[in-house]
């Protein structure tokens, strides 16, 4: 399936009505609600002359660069060695506006924004980003692709097989929701043709905004999906919390129409082949170690990669990851170059060629088509055996874990298998174990960062906003003796050693940057409250004009950031700030007041 790409439709469609050469153009829909959830929906078919070809794309006004189309077309079909017959689902992740240069791939000028996003103005956060936990934020410059691939024998087609994929593109990592959506719509599309996709897009364009923490009802194909997206202020996921984040088909109470979460894959099924070493893999993911997952098919490898990314929730995985990666990706040469150290990337692959091309990577997980034996489950030290394209399943790594494996969870899972415990319940046990492990690891860091905050009494309305102290690694490591994870976790091992490695990782850098931004926003909010509680008119009497102008600019900046959700200020506080601002401007001399009143209008013109 690695033939050249094109845009010519396949010569025939399996059990599909003839369609127009140009798909219907939905020109009457605003599409803003649609783009809150989905970037576009397209179909990819196989043409004997052109290879994989993009056939349709909805909505019609969406454009993809040539590099993006090429990537989507290749990733929309499993590698030929996978031998996927029937229906297969998986997902991938690509760089948006990918530009090929010397075989490498670099980001473009930035992700394209919808009309709604442009109207919001630069720097404004949507409710989805502001209220969601960081691990559910969209990643600028990247798109997810969710694939429903069908391959069946068809003697009426010259190639002998019908091969076509429906691909849903989105910036949101709602893996479970989009997988379920494709299960509902794709079989109907293969029967009813392109007009059916347009009907699906119409339904999605009626959905409410994806606001975290609210119960949302999403109409689709005559039914209603009830969804709750996790919110940033949700407590650490436990068995009960995980059960509340569910997607149910309201019109059909059958249990096979219930999904555990909007963003999680089935952890038990995904991690079953490597479950005895789940804690080792948790450490590798925590440290952003370069990691290859080799699976027999895209479904297996993409689910395992996503499960590993999810295993450090609520910490967000900071570096690049590709649930499904092929030799045709524009970063192939970059990731396989042996002249430099492997990047901190996690790749899911199926092509046996990667066993040779990526043998220099330090950590490789090989999953076979069958469940591994006890011998295969052992961690194997990297050796020359990896030069073979058919090396045996297992984990190949020289990494020595810092923590002693907690075997109690594995015993519970094995006992659950023997007793026939439901898969969803098994996944809840695994999810809770990962969440508690990550939570215990992060508590000392959260506690130390909180100690870096300045005292509230140091905040003065007439001084600059105080800054939190810098993070001192040595000071933090010394604090572990009295307030380390041993206080909350039964897991034993070299916790200080693990922290020392973590402090040098991209995951830590991203987490610390986020905490520093949140702390500064909180200090700005406290400073704004202090400004609301003083008599600024009295203070301004006898002050130099430059001081008063500086005060006005500070008030405007607090109001701007408050209205954009960048500072946690209530509507009441914003009204008080506006009252203070108006009062100070009204007390200015006429000429200076005119200048101050004209400045906001100029700023609005610049934003447009």
What domains can you pick out in the chain, each with its CATH number?
32-97+127-207 (3.30.450.200), 264-516 (3.40.50.11500), 534-603 (no CATH)
- Short-list 558, 573, 565, 569, CA closest to 132: 565
| Average pLDDT value for residue range 159-168 | 88
Q: What is the pTM of this model?
A: 0.84
DSSP bridge pairs for 219: 224
| Average pLDDT value for residue range 130-134 | 86
Which stretch, 131-140, 284-293, 412-421, 544-553, has highest mean pLDDT? 284-293
CB-side neighbour CA atoms (13 Å) of 436: 17
Greater model confidence, 260 or 42 = 42
Average pLDDT along the chain: 82
Confidence check: pLDDT of 295 > 50: yes
Q: pLDDT at position 608, please?
A: 38
Q: pLDDT at position 375, please?
A: 60
**Would you say 449 and 520 are in contact if contact means Cβ atoms under 8 Å apart?**
no
Note the pLDDT tens digit of each residue in 60-97: 888 888 888 989 999 999 986 666 788 899 999 998 86
Note the pLDDT tens digit of each residue in 313-362: 999 999 999 999 999 888 888 888 888 889 999 999 999 888 888 888 99
Confidence of residue 34 (pLDDT cuts 50, 70, 90): very high
Pairing of strands 258-259, 86-95: unpaired
- Short-list 279, 236, 234, 243, CA closest to 425: 243
Q: pLDDT at position 83, please?
A: 66
Share of the chain above pLDDT 70, in %: 80
Confidence of residue 600 (pLDDT cuts 50, 70, 90): low
Greater model confidence, 6 or 469 = 469
Q: Of 1-10, 229-238, 560-569, give the lowest mean pLDDT range.
A: 1-10
Q: Of 74-83, 175-184, 409-418, give the lowest mean pLDDT range.
A: 74-83
Note the pLDDT tens digit of each residue in 580-598: 889 888 888 888 888 888 8
Which stretch, 19-23, 99-103, 328-332, 370-374, has highest mean pLDDT? 328-332
Bond preceding residue 314 cis, omega within 30 of 0: yes
| Average pLDDT value for residue range 451-476 | 91
Residues 6 or more apart in contact with residue 271 via CB below 8 angstroms: 278, 304, 307, 430
Report DSSP letters for 430-449, one per residue. HHHHHHHHHHHHHHHHHHHH
Share of the chain above pLDDT 90, in %: 42
Q: Of 106-110, 262-266, 562-566, 569-573, give the lowest mean pLDDT range.
A: 106-110
Q: pLDDT at position 302, please?
A: 96
How many Å apart are CA 203 and CA 181, to the nearest integer? Answer: 12
DSSP bridge pairs for 40: 169
Q: Is 227 helix (H, G, I), strand (E, B) or coil?
A: strand
Q: Which two tokens stand for residue 402?
A: 């810092």
Q: Of 12-21, 134-143, 202-211, 396-405, give the lowest mean pLDDT range.
A: 12-21
First to last CA, the chain: 47
Q: pLDDT at position 248, please?
A: 45
- C-beta pairs of 515-520 under 8 Å, 24+ apart in sequence: 515/446, 515/449, 516/468, 519/449, 519/452, 519/453, 519/468, 520/465, 520/467, 520/468
227 burial level (CB within 10 Å; 0-12, 13-18, 19+): buried
Pairing of strands 99-101, 291-294: unpaired
Greater model confidence, 125 or 429 = 429
Q: pLDDT at position 190, please?
A: 92
How many Å apart are CA 231 and CA 213, to the nearest integer? Answer: 5
Confidence of residue 261 (pLDDT cuts 50, 70, 90): confident
**Would you say 429 and 272 are in contact if contact means Cβ atoms under 8 Å apart?**
no
Q: Of 15-19, 175-179, 469-473, give the lowest mean pLDDT range.
A: 15-19
Tokens 């043998």 found at: 359
Tokens 């003697």 found at: 155
């Amino acid at each position: 399936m690695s033939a050249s790409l094109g845009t010519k439709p396949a010569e025939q469609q399996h059990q599909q009505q003839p369609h127009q050469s140009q798909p219907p153009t939905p020109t009457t829909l605003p599409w803003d609600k649609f783009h809150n959830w989905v970037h576009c929906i397209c179909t990819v078919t196989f043409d004997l002359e052109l290879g994989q070809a993009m056939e349709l794309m909805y909505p019609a006004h969406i454009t993809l660069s040539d590099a993006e189309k090429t990537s989507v077309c290749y990733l929309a079909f499993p590698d030929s060695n996978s031998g996927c017959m029937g229906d297969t689902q998986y997902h991938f992740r690509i760089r948006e506006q990918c530009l090929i240069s010397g075989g490498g791939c670099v980001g473009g000028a930035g992700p394209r924004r919808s009309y709604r996003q442009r109207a919001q103005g630069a720097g404004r956060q949507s409710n989805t980003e502001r209220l969601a936990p960081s691990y559910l934020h969209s990643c600028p410059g990247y798109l997810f692709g969710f694939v429903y691939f069908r391959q069946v024998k068809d003697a009426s087609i010259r190639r002998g097989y019908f091969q076509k994929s429906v691909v849903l593109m989105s910036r949101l990592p709602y893996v479970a929701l989009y997988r379920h959506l494709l299960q509902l719509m794709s079989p109907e599309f293969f029967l009813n043709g392109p007009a059916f996709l347009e009907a699906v897009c119409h339904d999605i364009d009626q959905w409410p905004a994806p606001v975290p923490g609210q119960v949302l009802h999403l109409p689709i194909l005559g039914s209603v999906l009830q969804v709750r997206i996790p919110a940033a202020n949700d407590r650490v996921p436990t068995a009960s919390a995980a059960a509340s984040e569910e997607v149910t088909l309201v019109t059909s109470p059958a249990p096979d129409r219930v999904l555990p979460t909007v963003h999680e894959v089935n952890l038990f099924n995904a991690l079953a082949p490597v479950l005895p070493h789940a804690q080792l893999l948790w450490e590798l993911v925590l440290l952003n170690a370069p990691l290859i997952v080799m699976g027999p098919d895209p479904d297996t490898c993409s689910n395992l990669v996503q499960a590993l990314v999810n295993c450090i929730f609520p910490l967000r995985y900071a570096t690049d990851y590709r649930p499904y990666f092929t030799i045709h990706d524009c970063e192939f040469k970059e990731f396989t170059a042996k002249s430099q150290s492997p990047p901190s990337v996690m790749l899911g692959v199926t092509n046996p060629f990667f066993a040779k091309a990526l043998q220099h990577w330090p950590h490789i997980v090989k999953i076979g088509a069958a469940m591994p034996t006890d011998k295969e489950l052992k961690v194997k030290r990297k050796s020359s055996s990896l030069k073979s394209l058919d090396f045996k399943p297992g984990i190949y790594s020289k990494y020595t874990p810092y923590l002693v494996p907690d075997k109690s969870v594995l015993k519970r899972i094995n006992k659950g298998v023997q007793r026939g415990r439901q898969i969803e319940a098994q996944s809840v046990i695994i999810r809770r174990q990962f969440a508690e492990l990550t939570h215990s690891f992060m508590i000392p860091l959260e506690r130390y960062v909180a100690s870096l905050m300045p005292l509230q009494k140091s905040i003065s309305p007439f001084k600059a906003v105080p800054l939190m102290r810098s993070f001192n690694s040595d000071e933090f490591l010394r604090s572990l003796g009295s307030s380390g994870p041993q206080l909350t976790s039964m897991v034993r091992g070299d916790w200080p050693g693990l922290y020392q490695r973590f402090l040098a990782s991209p995951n830590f850098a991203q987490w610390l940057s986020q905490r520093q931004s949140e702390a500064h926003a909180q200090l700005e909010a406290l400073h704004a409250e202090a400004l609301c509680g003083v008599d600024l008119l009295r203070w301004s009497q006898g002050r130099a004009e430059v001081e008063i102008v500086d005060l006005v600019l500070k008030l405007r900046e607090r109001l701007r950031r408050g209205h954009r959700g960048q500072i946690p200020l209530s509507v009441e506080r914003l009204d008080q700030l506006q009252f203070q601002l108006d009062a100070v401007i009204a007390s200015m001399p006429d000429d200076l007041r005119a200048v101050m009143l004209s400045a906001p209008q100029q700023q609005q013109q610049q934003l447009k």
